[in-house]
Amino acid sequence: MDAESAARWSAWPAVVCYVAAWALSLRPADNRSRIWIRLLWTAGWLALVAHVIVALAFVHGWSWSAAYEHTAQRTQTLVGWNWGGGVWFNLLTVGVWGADVLRMWMTSSRPERSVPAADWTRWSNYAVQSYIAFMMINATVVFGSLFAQFTGCLMCAGLAMYAWQQHCNTRG
């Protein structure tokens, strides 16, 4: 397996854990599902960290400028914009997701804090989830291989249908 393929395949565990945690979070939460969500969310973040390390080490030779150039070339090819700044958004995703993992573990031992009490907490959670979802869609549907695009579209459609079903079930 070449370095590009290794980097591509190393991203899949993060995507799978993300989708599984997100799908579980749509169901009514009990202690067991909260544990699984937290474990999957953490595993997904660790997988993303591993993916970044694999890509940086084996594809870009530990060179941030090479990673920037590669991202710029891919962006130019796919959307016609010669810009490699997406690599920094990928790193921001690692940070945002990591901070959310930390938040989950810190609030998990306190049941009164496991459910957001303040509107700002709820909205910050939506912002985090929206940003990570946006990055996942870009990674699979926009910048992924044909297989990743197909799979990413299926995952998005499946999650949307599942979210709608859960929404309808909670409304009565």
pLDDT tens-digit readout, 46-64? 999 999 999 999 999 999 9
Q: How confident is the model at residue 113 (pLDDT cuts 50, 70, 90)?
A: very low
Which range among 86-90, 110-114, 158-162 has the greatest average pLDDT?
A: 86-90
Residue 118 has pLDDT above 60, yes or no: no
- The pTM of the full predicted model, rounded to 2 decimals, is 0.86
Q: How confident is the model at residue 31 (pLDDT cuts 50, 70, 90)?
A: confident
| Mean pLDDT in residue range 98-114 | 76
Question: HEC profile for 81-146?
Answer: CCCCCHHHHHHHHHHHHHHHHHHHHHHCCCHHHHCCCCHHHHHHHHHHHHHHHHHHHHHHHHCCCH
Instruction: Sketch the domain layout of the chain as residue ranges.
Output: 3-170
